[in-house]
């Protein structure tokens, strides 16, 4: 932190090798190390400044997924960092405490860059998250989990061949960069901040013993109150925070179960999308004497509802065949331009028979309805990425605030990275 109060960070994207699987070296990419990147943490109201170096053999970008910030610092496909180059974005954090993440976004190569290991978490704290009464000792009872699937060749290299219709699907789950992850836990209440950092795989998370847990946050911050659940589905790019209660002498084994939400998916296709797969993700092992934590609070945060009656624009997005509204991404085409500080309603329809999801840069949105029905409690908070099953119609309310720029656009896209790379993306200017 400098004299002016700005918090400085240095990131360097580079190559290396790591032990994804014990005993095997795999060539990987990472930030400030050989795989993944440091967890970045800043407070609401704080000015942050980065130097980002590119020590990779090809151009990359670093996008701050979920962050409200000026478009020229967004790190989308227009903020290319050449090999040997440096980029210096800076902004003031101004949004609720949340679990965000950062990852490359070079047009056409995002899947490959993330698959090779470039991704990290970006946590925002604020007074509300400080006093919410949730476990918050990082790495002790507040555990970050980046869940990804990888496929390795016999000699331990990352296998980038044989993409499916949802991109690269792996048969090995790496959690925070390691397969077969386990963690000794000393507290009876544990918060997991989970990111689906995979290219195209959906997870249906739960515990092997079917224990109940509580969802406490979605992509953009705390939910109004804890939501009890036994399963939670996460599509690529989505985050969820959950709190579980450890029991003496009993492991809590976090697993991904087969996907049960199969609306619109042909039975013959489900397996090729990875929907039948099940994996162990993380084994939480209680120590002999667990420290008792506080009971879960009844209320977490106030989520002020955006009023759809205030909307000044309505826009439609139809997802099909690597396209949105019949066109593929064009770096030189601006698709539309919302007016700053106004509310809009976006209707997103997946008219394909493939799974897609929908992600918007700069703003967190609220889901108004899914196929005409209000969203379940787990999806009623701030979101920046939402699963859009085949045949679905989802209405979002959102506002782009504070920043205008006549030159640099923000993106919206399917976050199945191969679909995004293929052009299922568009761009808008906030004016
Ligand atoms: Cu997480 Cu446009 O991306
Ligand atoms: Cu993003
Ligand atoms: Cu898609």
Q: Distance, CA 137 to ligand 2 centroid (Å)? A: 27
| For residues 173-187, average pLDDT | 98
Among protein residues, the one whose CA lies closest to atom 1 of ligand 1: 65
For residue 427, the Cα-to-chain-centroid distance in whole angstroms is 19
One DSSP character per residue, 40-94 reads EEEETT-EEEEEEEE-SSS-B--EEET----GGGS-STTS-B-TT-EE--EEE--
Question: Residues within 5 Å of ion ligand 3 by Cβ?
Answer: 356, 414, 416, 419
CA distances from 342 to 267, 308, 313, 316, 350 (A): 42, 11, 9, 17, 26
What is the number of the ligand closest to the CA of 414? 3
Among protein residues, the one whose CA lies closest to atom 3 of ligand 1: 65
CA distances from 308 to 68, 213, 345, 348, 397 (A): 21, 32, 7, 15, 7
Buried b (16+ CB within 10 A) or exposed e, 349-361: bbebebbbbbbbb
Mean pLDDT of the chain: 97
Instruction: For 32, list phi and psi in degrees, rounded to 5.
Output: 60, 30
Indicate if the pLDDT at residue 294 is higher than 90.
Answer: no
Question: Picking from 259-263, 325-329, 419-423, which range would have the lowest pLDDT averaged per residue?
Answer: 259-263
Which among 417, 359, 166 is positioned nearest to 270, based on CA atoms?
166
Higher pLDDT, 294 or 173: 173
Q: Distance, CA 101 to ligand 1 centroid (Å)? A: 9
**pLDDT, tens digit, 9 for 90 and up, residues 212-254:** 999 999 999 999 999 999 999 999 999 999 999 999 999 999 9
Q: Distance, CA 6 to ligand 3 centroid (Å)? A: 38
Rounded to whole angstroms, how far apart are CA atoms 284 and 381?
27
What is the number of the ligand closest to the CA of 237? 1
Rounded to whole angstroms, how far apart are CA atoms 221 and 381?
7
Ligand 1 atom at minimal distance to the Cα of residue 103: 1
What is the number of the ligand closest to the CA of 103? 1
**pLDDT, tens digit, 9 for 90 and up, residues 296-336:** 999 999 999 999 999 999 999 999 999 999 999 999 999 99
Q: What are the structural domains, with CATH classification, of the chain?
A: 7-126 (2.60.40.420), 142-291 (2.60.40.420), 308-428 (2.60.40.420)
| For residues 34-40, average pLDDT | 98
Q: Distance, CA 92 to ligand 1 centroid (Å)? A: 20
The secondary structure of residue 263, as a DSSP letter, is: T
Ligand 1 atom at minimal distance to the Cα of residue 412: 2
Percent of the residues in the chain that have a pLDDT greater than 90, as a whole number? 99
| For residues 354-372, average pLDDT | 98
Q: Distance, CA 352 to ligand 1 centroid (Å)? A: 21
| For residues 16-20, average pLDDT | 97
Indicate if the pLDDT at residue 426 is higher than 90.
Answer: yes
**Terminus-to-terminus CA distance in the chain, angstroms?**
33
Indicate if the pLDDT at residue 396 is higher than 90.
Answer: yes
Rounded to whole angstroms, how far apart are CA atoms 33 and 13?
8
What is the number of the ligand closest to the CA of 423? 3
pTM strictly above 0.90: yes
Q: Distance, CA 408 to ligand 1 centroid (Å)? A: 16
């Amino acid at each position: 932190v400098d004299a002016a109060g700005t918090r400085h960070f240095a990131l360097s994207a580079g190559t290396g090798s790591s032990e994804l699987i014990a005993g095997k070296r795999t060539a990987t990419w990472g930030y400030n190390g050989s795989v993944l990147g440091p967890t970045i943490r800043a407070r609401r109201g704080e000015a942050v400044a980065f130097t980002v170096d590119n020590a990779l053999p090809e151009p990359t970008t670093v996008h701050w997924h979920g962050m409200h910030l000026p478009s020229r610092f967004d790190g989308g496909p227009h903020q290319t960092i050449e090999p040997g180059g440096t980029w210096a974005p800076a902004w003031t954090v101004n949004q609720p405490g949340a679990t965000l993440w950062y990852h490359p976004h070079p047009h056409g190569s995002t899947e490959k860059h993330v698959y090779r290991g470039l991704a990290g978490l970006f946590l925002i704290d604020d007074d509300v998250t400080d006093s919410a009464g949730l476990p918050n000792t990082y790495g002790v009872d507040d555990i970050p989990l980046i869940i990804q699937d990888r496929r390795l060749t016999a000699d331990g290299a990352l296998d980038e061949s044989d993409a499916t219709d949802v991109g690269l699907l792996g048969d090995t789950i790496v959690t925070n960069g390691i397969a077969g992850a386990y963690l000794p836990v000393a507290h009876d209440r544990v918060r997991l901040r989970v990111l689906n950092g995979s290219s195209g795989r959906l997870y249906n998370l739960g515990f092997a013993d079917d224990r109940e847990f509580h969802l406490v946050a979605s992509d953009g911050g705390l939910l109004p109150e804890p939501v009890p659940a036994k399963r939670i589905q996460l599509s690529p790019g989505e985050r969820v925070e959950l709190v579980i209660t450890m029991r003496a002498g009993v492991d809590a084994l976090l697993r991904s179960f087969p996907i049960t939400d199969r609306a619109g998916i042909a039975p013959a296709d489900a397996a090729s999308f990875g929907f039948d797969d099940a994996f162990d993700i993380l084994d939480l092992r209680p120590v002999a004497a667990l420290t008792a934590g506080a009971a879960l609070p009844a209320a977490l945060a106030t989520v002020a509802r955006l009023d759809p009656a205030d909307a000044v624009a309505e826009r439609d997005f139809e997802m099909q065949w690597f396209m949105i509204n019949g066109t593929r991404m064009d770096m030189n085409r601006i698709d539309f331009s919302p007016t700053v500080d106004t509310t809009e309603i976006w209707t997103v329809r997946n008219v394909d028979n493939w799974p897609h999801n929908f992600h918007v840069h700069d703003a967190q949105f609220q889901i108004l309805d899914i196929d005409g029905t209000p969203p379940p409690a787990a999806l009623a908070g701030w979101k920046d990425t939402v699963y859009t099953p085949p045949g679905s119609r989802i209405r979002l309310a959102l506002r782009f605030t504070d920043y205008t720029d006549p030159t640099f656009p923000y993106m919206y896209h399917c976050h199945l990275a191969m679909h995004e790379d293929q052009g299922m993306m568009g761009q808008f200017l906030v004016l």
